[in-house]
Amino acid sequence: MINSSLTQLGAALRTKKISSVELTQSYLDRIARMNPELNAYITLNPEISLAQARAADARLANGNADPLTGIPVAQKDIFCAKGWLTTCGSKMLHNFVSPYDAHVITQFNNAGAVNLGKTNMDEFAMGSSNETSHYGTVKNPWDVSRVPGGSSGGTAAAVAARLCAAATGTDTGGSIRQPAALCGISGLKPTYGVVSRYGMIAFASSLDQAGPMGRSAEDLALLLNTMAGFDERDSTSLQREKEDYARDLNKPLNGLRIGLPKEFFAEGLSGDVAKAVEAAIAEYRKLGAIIVDISLPNTKLSIPVYYVLAPAEASSNLSRFDGVRYGYRAPEYGDLADMYEKSRAQGFGAEVKRRIMIGTYVLSHGYYDAYYLQAQKIRRLIAQDFTDAYKQCDVIMGPTSPSTAFKLGEKGDDPVQMYLSDIYTIAVNLAGLPGMSIPCGFGANDMPVGLQIIGNYFDEARMLNVAHQYQLATDWHGRAPQL
C-alpha cells in the first residue's frame, strides 16, 4: 500500500480492503524502523494518531467520508496542533505544546485525515538543507550522506521514503520546491493568501505560504482542495470561491505555451540538471506544448532582495520569543533584561541569530531607506517581470535547484553558497506567485532532479494539469529510494 496514490488509498479505505487503523499502524511501524537513520520526524504520538484513525473508520462506516478521510498525513512542525509538541525545529520551542490548531490542521481534521506526526525542519524554517534543526540533520533517503533540502526537508524525506501517504510543508523562498526536487517528490507552493497562515509559526509574513507535498500532481490537487480556503483569522487570507484543483487534470496540453527564462539556464546551472530539464521540455513538446523563450531580467537580484526583506521580517516576528510567556528560558539570569538576552542567546541557533542581526540592521535608523526600502522597490520590478512574461506564455518552466542534493556539511561554512541553492525559487515568493516542483529524472550520483513549473496568480489548477499530463507520460514520480 505504501506506493499507492491518495486516490487509491481512499478507494481501499472505502471498500474496506484496509482500515485506517491498519494503514496508520503500518506507517508507524515503518517510521519506527527507518526514522532513527533518516531523522525525518521530530514528534510522534501513536495514541493520538490511532484515535484519529478509529474515528476515521467510524466515519467511513457511516458513508460520509471525504477524499482524505482515514489517510495518514504528516505535518511540518511549523504548524500548531492542539496537544502536540510544536517546536519549529528549535530549542526555543522545545517544550511548547500547542493549545490550539492551525487553520491547516483544522482543515485536515475536518476532512478526517490522520495526523501521523510532526516532521523535522530547519530551525524556524531558516535554511536550505535541514542542517540547522535543533533536533539534528535530516538525511536524504536516496543517499543518507546528502541533504534532503530545506526547510521542509523532513517532510520531503518522509514522503520520499514512504513514511507517510502525503505531507504539508511551507515555502518562504523555495522551502517546499527545493526539498521536493532534491528528494524526488512533488511539491506545490500556492499563490500567496490561498492557504491561511493562522497557526503557522511566522518567519517572513509577506513570503510564507503553506502547501502540499506528495508523490504526484494528482495527490497535490487533493491535498490543496483540503488546505485552501478563506480564514478570517488571517489578514492575508484571500476571500475567494472554493475551487476544485483537480478539475483540469485530464485536459490535453495542445497549444500550451511554456516560457523558458534564459536566466534559468545560464552560468551556475549544473550540466546534469540542465540535461534532465531539457529532456522534460522535449517531452512537453511531444505532448503538444509550444516553447517560448522569455526573459526575467531581475532574477539575479532576487537573492539580495530576499536576504534583506526576509531577515527584516524575521527580526520582527522572532521578537516574541523572549523567555517570558512560552518557550525556552535561561536557567540563570539577573534582571529582566538579562533574562531576555540569555534566553535568546541560548535559545536561538547560529543561522537564526545571523538573520535576526541582518534584519535588525537593515531596519535600523540610517539604513532603512538604503536597504529595506530599495529592496521593496526591486521586489515590485521582479513581480513586473513575471507579469510581462505571462503576456507571452501560459506557464514558466526551468530547474528547481541548480544542482542535485549536495553532501551533508558541504556548504555549512559558506552561507552565501547555501543561499544560492534557492536562486530559481525565491523570485516566485517575492512576486506571490504559485510554483511547484515535480521529478524529471536523475543527475550525478543517481540523485533526483526537479522541474519547476511557475503559474500566473491563482493558476494552480492549470499547473497541476501540466504536471499531471507529464506524469502520465513518464514514471519519474513513481520511483522510490531503495531502503
Active site residues per annotation: 76, 151, 175
Q: Which of 286, 402, 321, 306 is nearest to 358 (CA)?
A: 306
- Helix or strand holding residue 358 (H, E): helix 350-363
CA distances from 324 to 85, 124, 330 (A): 19, 19, 10
Q: Which positions ≥6 away from 377 have C-beta within 8 Å?
A: none
Helix axis angle for 217-227 and 103-111, nearest 10°, is 110
How far apart are the C-alpha atoms of 259 and 280, rounded to whole Å?
A: 13
Q: Which of 251, 210, 260, 268 is nearest to 80 (CA)?
A: 210
Q: Which of 208, 191, 188 is nearest to 200 (CA)?
A: 208
CA Rg value for the chain: 21
Q: What phi and psi values does residue 190 have, to the nearest 5 degrees?
A: -70, 170
Which amino acid appears at position 378 of this protein?
I
**Cβ atoms of residues 223 and 333 within 8 Å:** no
**Cβ atoms of residues 150 and 130 within 8 Å:** yes
Write down the number of H helices and E strands in the chain: 15, 11
